[in-house]
Amino acid sequence: MIGRKTKVIDCRETAGIGLGGGLAQAGTLAETDSKDVIVLSMGPTRRHITKPVCEITYGLRERDIGVSVLVLRSGIGPPPPEEFPDGFATMGSISSINEEEEEIIRRYKLAIIHLGNIPYHIIYKAKVFLRNIEIPSIIVCQAEMDFEDFAKVGIKTIQKMPKKPETKGVIVDIVTGVIRGQTCLQDKIDDITTKVEYWLNNYKKN
């Protein structure tokens, strides 16, 4: 032994179908036997390449943290129009989460939600994903965000609680400056892993 440990991951067998695909295709789950952390990834496109997610999960596993990765079936695009106060018109994909994906997430102690660089998309996607799932979550994104940004639209946060909470899930930490499609800097990986270790050890439901 030279200090290494073996990790067993039930990975993807056929692209885009359940436990499927050598690559991180939409609607796939790479599942470890531990139910500590699940990372939600939006999906693989030129704008939403999953490189930061791969590097984050590698960093977590180096710290002996069990982590699974769920690539959402409909993770790309803005959230549904009805989520915005004034609605909006859009063409193309709409981001959402289905009941099967919600049930998978409920198995875990902590979620990491990887998002992008458009504040409105980040906020309302987080609201959609956490509406029905009672789980502490860490937001990882490129845009500069704070707890108040999320609380003002009804998302529970550890630092600021909305007057009328509209989610079962709660945001316990935020890591910004992680650029989608580019290498995740080591200091960001260290920040994420430190926060994950802290919340796994210290979070208690109210």
Residues 128-183: tens digit of each pLDDT: 999 999 999 999 999 999 999 999 999 999 999 999 999 999 999 999 999 887 88
Q: How confident is the model at residue 83 (pLDDT cuts 50, 70, 90)?
A: confident
Question: Which strands make up the sheet holding 67-71, listed edge to edge?
Answer: 9-10, 28-32, 67-71, 37-41, 110-114, 136-140, 170-175, 156-157
- The predicted model scores a pTM of 0.84
Query: pLDDT tens digit string along 36-47?
Result: 999 998 766 554
The pLDDT of residue 91: 55
Q: Is 41 helix (H, G, I), strand (E, B) or coil?
A: strand
- Tell me the domains of the chain and their CATH numbers: 10-201 (3.40.50)
Q: d(Cα 149, Cα 165) in Å, to the nearest integer?
A: 14
Residues 71-83 have a mean pLDDT of 74
Q: Is 16 a residue whose pLDDT tops 50?
A: no
Of 70, 69, 87, which Cα lies nearest the Cα of 78? 87
Q: Judge residue 144's burial from the number of C-beta atoms within 10 Å of its C-beta, 0-12 exposed, 13-18 middle, 19 or more buried.
A: exposed
Write out the two tokens for 151: 């609380």
Mention every residue, 6+ apart, whose C-beta is less than 8 A from residue 167.
127, 130, 131, 154, 155, 156
Write out the two tokens for 206: 């109210």
